[in-house]
Amino acid sequence: MIVSVMPMPDGTMTRAHASEARERLATSPFLLVDVELSEAGSPTGQPLAHLLGLGAADLAWLGREGESARAEYLGDSAAFVVPAVEAGQVVHVHAVVTERYLVTVHRGTAARLIQSLTARFPHERPPDAVAMLFLLLDEALETYRGSAVQALLDVEDLEDEMFRQRQPEQVYRLARLRRTAALLHHTLLPYHRVTEETVTRRMMSGSVPEERQRLVREYQRTAGLVLTDIESLQEAARRAFSSYSSLVSADQNGVINRLAIVSTIFLPLTFLTGFFGMNFTYLTDETEGEAVFWLLAVGLQVAFLAIALYTLHRTGLWRRLRDEDGGLDGE
């Protein structure tokens, strides 16, 4: 377990022991404490909230792996489980905020989210811990927005590539992008709903300062825009799948048309061959001689073939197929 402490507003992030972080949480007027857990969790086996002196009864879940979306007020504090996207995976940051401090708990790659958060402090200069919390929520939403926008661009590029030259591997890439869209929507929407419900109920109490109401409105606007981006990604993925299916159907129609041409040419020839191959008395007695053979066996087939080719030419089917092939080769 790595504990980092950052006194605000002008401090720097430094490593500290859990006991030191506990003392500073009890006395400092404005503090950020970040805890990076190993995969094994707390090395002592005690609840993390107890180690930090945060009140283990209400925060027994703090730092526990597999926690679902959470946003709740606990008297003079609030607790959140905030999802974010790092390296193509959804990670969760646990956050506890009071008027004096913000405590964040995470594992692995989520450390980059905290680094991005602290990098904003010199420019944003949050006046209190609640403002730091909303910066954290905004930074988490930005990870979703970045992932959704990048996936949307990938879908558009892939769709354009399909129209130039369709390949079987493209459908697998589309499936991965569609799964990404579903993952983003599935993980963000429950968190957004529970946070929206909790924040709205808090604002309706009438005791929220105007500045914090502004932070809430900005968060709600940003969350709505991010969800819109994710829904746009889902729609683009569905459209790309539909385009791929249309291209496959067009290819299949071309194959069917070619088979129809072959059938138009050879079906009459097959009929003539089968008809004159029958062992009827009339055919064997009356159709003798070399001239009759050439007239019936060859002449009729040539005549039927000419009629078939003339029909294809008049209907324009052959020309349309040739033009389609030329267009595909040109693309």
Domain ranges (residues) in the chain: 2-245, 277-325
How crowded is residue 100: how many other Cβ atoms within 10 Å of its Cβ? 17
Summarised one tens digit per residue, pLDDT across range 242-265 is: 887 777 776 777 777 777 777 776
pLDDT for residue 309 is more than 80: no
User: Would you state the structure tokens that stand for residue 129, as one six-digit string?
Assistant: 């811990």
pLDDT band at 67 (very low <50, low <70, confident <90, very high): confident
Phi, psi of 15 (to 5 degrees): -75, 150
Least confident of 14-18, 82-86, 163-167: 163-167
How crowded is residue 14: how many other Cβ atoms within 10 Å of its Cβ? 11
* pTM reported for the whole predicted model: 0.75
Strands annotated E in the chain: 2-7, 14-16, 31-37, 70-74, 77-86, 89-97, 101-107
Instruction: Region of 116 please: left (phi>0), alpha (psi -120 to 50) or beta.
Output: alpha
pLDDT for residue 328 is more than 50: no
Phi, psi of 203 (to 5 degrees): -70, -30
pLDDT for residue 298 is more than 80: no
Summarised one tens digit per residue, pLDDT across range 2-23 is: 888 888 877 788 888 888 888 8
Residue 301 burial (10 A CB sphere; 0-12, 13-18, 19+) = middle
101-107 and 31-37 beta bridge pairing: parallel
C-beta separation of 30 from 129 below 8 A: yes
CATH code for residues 2-245: 3.30.460.20
Chain center to CA of 326: 36
